Amino acid sequence: MSDPVAQPVVKEIPPKAADLSAWYTAVCLKAELTSYSPVRGCVVLRPYGYGLWENLQKHLDAAFKETGHENAYFPLLIPESLLLKEAEHVEGFAPEVAWVTHGGQEELTERLAIRPTSEVIIGVMYAQWVESYRDLPILINQWANVLRWEKATRPFLRTMEFLWQEGHTAHATADEAREETLKMLEVYREFAESVAAVPVYAGIKSASERFPGAVETFSIEALMPDGKALQSATSHDLGQNFAKAYEITFVDADQQIKHAYTTSWGMSWRMLGAMIMTHGDDRGLRIPPKMAPIEAVFVPIVRKGDERAVEACRDAAKTLRAAGFRVKVDDRDQQPGWKYAEWDVRGVPLRIEIGPRDVDAGTAVLVRRDKAKGDPDQKTSVPLDQLAQHVRELLDAIQKSLYEEARAFLQSHTVRVAERDAFLRACRERAGMVDIPWCGTGECEARVKAETSATTRNTRPLEPGDATCVACGEPATMRAYFAQSY
φ, ψ of residue 405 in degrees (nearest 5):
-65, -45
Residue 269: exposure state from Cβ atoms within 10 A (0-12, 13-18, ≥19): buried
**pLDDT at residue 90, as a whole number:** 65
**pLDDT at residue 170, as a whole number:** 98
Per residue in 128-172, pLDDT (tens digit) is 999 999 999 999 999 999 999 988 789 999 999 999 999 999 999
For range 52-75, the mean pLDDT: 98
d(CA 41, CA 451): 30
Per residue in 205-215, pLDDT (tens digit) is 999 999 988 99
**Is 59 within 8 Å of 289 (Cβ atoms)?**
no
∠ Cα 33 398 313 (to 5°): 75
Residue 64: exposure state from Cβ atoms within 10 A (0-12, 13-18, ≥19): buried
Domains of the chain by range and CATH? 20-279 (3.30.930.10), 294-398 (3.40.50.800), 414-483 (3.30.110.30)
Banded model confidence at residue 255, pLDDT cuts 50, 70, 90: very high
Per residue in 94-135, pLDDT (tens digit) is 788 999 999 999 999 999 999 999 999 999 999 999 999 999
Residue 1 confidence (pLDDT) above 50: no
Among candidate residues 271, 60, 294, 39, the one with its CA nearest the CA of residue 163: 271
**pLDDT at residue 270, as a whole number:** 97
**pLDDT at residue 152, as a whole number:** 79
In this predicted structure, which of 69-73, 78-82, 402-406, 439-443 has the lowest mean pLDDT? 78-82
Per residue in 306-318, pLDDT (tens digit) is 889 999 999 999 9
